[in-house]
């Protein structure tokens, strides 16, 4: 990618809304047929996380009520994989609330990867920070994607998380890229960040050591008991502006309209697809929060007249 400054990105982001969407749509059409990639999330280990991400119900620092679960048995993960396959899902994404996985957790995840690959689906994991050795081990087990979000701008990062730095995130992403695993990296909007932070977040995505193959854009789901439970709502025009700007800067990357879709009407979601989003989490549960009912998703995809999983 050509070097793009924050000022360049700001000019793209701040242009009149309809011009921005129109430009993003035209770039999207040059690079993709209209389709939606379906991914399934499964929380393989829930809660008890030592990190203090202020949006997350799994953090030990937040007071949310969630069911803490140790690593799932292999047959439970296989059940999820088989159901996902029947529904036409392309990738299974495993999430575990760790600062970094220990040796036995990593071995178990390697077994999960084996099961996903055995059934012919793509595998993705999000397990916290990884050393070079850990990334190599996951690559050897057949992992296709590693998700590690930068969450927000480097400037706003310490307002949201204090138990790690923005650079820690980039270091893991460097290891993932060197190991030859595809990078899935995006962020969350509506954390109380400014528009300048959103521009800076997009700029940080363009500066990653390995360009992401997949960019999840989440809208904060306010969970009671978390520090951001009462933050001001995001103006949804900002969500569309972020998606459109990311599409213009990453013409060939899948953009996943991730958490927060339940807060969007069908037309608002359609506006996001119009602006470049072409991937969703399919299934009623995200890691700990609810997701859209799959019948509603099927219905919306049919109303749009597009294919799932291109």
Is 51 one of the binding residues for ligand SF4 (CB under 6 A)? yes
Specify the residue, 259 or 308, whose C-beta has the smaller distance to ligand SF4. 259
Specify the residue, 141 or 259, whose C-beta has the smaller distance to ligand SF4. 259
Specify the residue, 221 or 249, whose C-beta has the smaller distance to ligand SF4. 221
User: Which residue, 215, 238, 235, 297, is CA-closest to 262?
Assistant: 297
Is 59 one of the binding residues for ligand SF4 (CB under 6 A)? yes
* Long-range contacts at 27-32 (CB < 8 A, ≥ 24 apart): 27/247, 27/248, 27/251, 27/276, 28/247, 28/251, 28/275, 28/276, 28/278, 30/251, 31/251, 31/252, 32/278, 32/310
Separation between Cα atoms, residue 299 and residue 295, nearest integer Å: 6
Question: By the 8 A CB rule, do 198 and 249 touch?
Answer: no
Is 122 one of the binding residues for ligand SF4 (CB under 6 A)? no
Is 97 one of the binding residues for ligand SF4 (CB under 6 A)? yes
Closest contact distance (angstroms) between CB of 69 and ligand SF4 is: 12
Of the candidate residues 24, 49, 138, 205, the single one contacting ligand SF4 (CB under 6 A): 49
Q: Which residues are catalytic?
A: 49, 53, 56, 93, 124, 184, 256
Residue 84 φ/ψ, nearest 5 degrees: -60, -45
Is 53 one of the binding residues for ligand SF4 (CB under 6 A)? yes
Specify the residue, 9 or 56, whose C-beta has the smaller distance to ligand SF4. 56
User: Which residue, 1, 2, 8, 9, is CA-closest to 201?
Assistant: 9
Residues binding ligand SF4: number (CB under 6 A): 8
Q: Which residues bind ligand SF4 (CB under 6 A)?
A: 49, 51, 53, 56, 58-59, 97, 128
């Amino acid at each position: 990618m050509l070097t793009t400054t924050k000022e360049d990105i700001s000019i793209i982001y701040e242009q009149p809304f309809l011009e921005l969407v129109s430009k993003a749509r035209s770039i999207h059409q040059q690079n993709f047929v209209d389709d939606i990639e379906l991914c399934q999330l499964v929380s393989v280990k829930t809660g008890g996380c030592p990190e203090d991400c202020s949006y997350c119900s799994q953090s030990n620092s937040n007071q949310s009520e969630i069911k803490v679960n140790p690593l799932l048995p292999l047959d439970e993960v296989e059940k999820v994989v088989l159901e996902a396959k029947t529904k036409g899902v392309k990738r299974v994404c495993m999430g575990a609330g760790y600062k970094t996985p220990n040796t036995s957790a990593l071995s178990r995840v390697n077994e999960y990867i084996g099961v996903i690959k055995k059934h012919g689906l793509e595998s993705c994991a999000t397990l916290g920070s990884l050393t070079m050795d850990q990334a190599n081990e996951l690559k050897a087990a057949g992992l296709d994607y590693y998700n590690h979000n930068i969450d927000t701008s480097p400037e706003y990062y310490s307002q949201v998380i204090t138990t790690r730095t923005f650079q820690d995130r980039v270091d893991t992403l460097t290891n993932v890229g060197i190991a030859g695993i595809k990078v899935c990296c995006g962020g969350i909007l509506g954390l109380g960040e400014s528009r300048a932070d959103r521009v800076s977040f997009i700029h940080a995505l363009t500066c990653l050591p390995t360009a992401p193959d997949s960019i999840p854009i989440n809208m904060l789901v306010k969970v009671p008991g978390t520090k951001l439970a009462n933050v001001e709502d995001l103006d949804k025009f900002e969500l569309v502006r972020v998606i459109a700007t990311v599409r213009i800067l990453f013409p060939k990357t899948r953009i996943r309209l991730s958490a927060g879709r339940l807060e969007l009407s069908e037309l608002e979601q359609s506006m996001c697809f119009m602006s470049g989003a072409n991937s969703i989490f399919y299934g009623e549960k995200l890691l700990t929060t609810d997701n859209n009912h799959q019948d509603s998703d099927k219905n919306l995809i049919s109303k749009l007249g597009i294919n799932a999983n291109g």
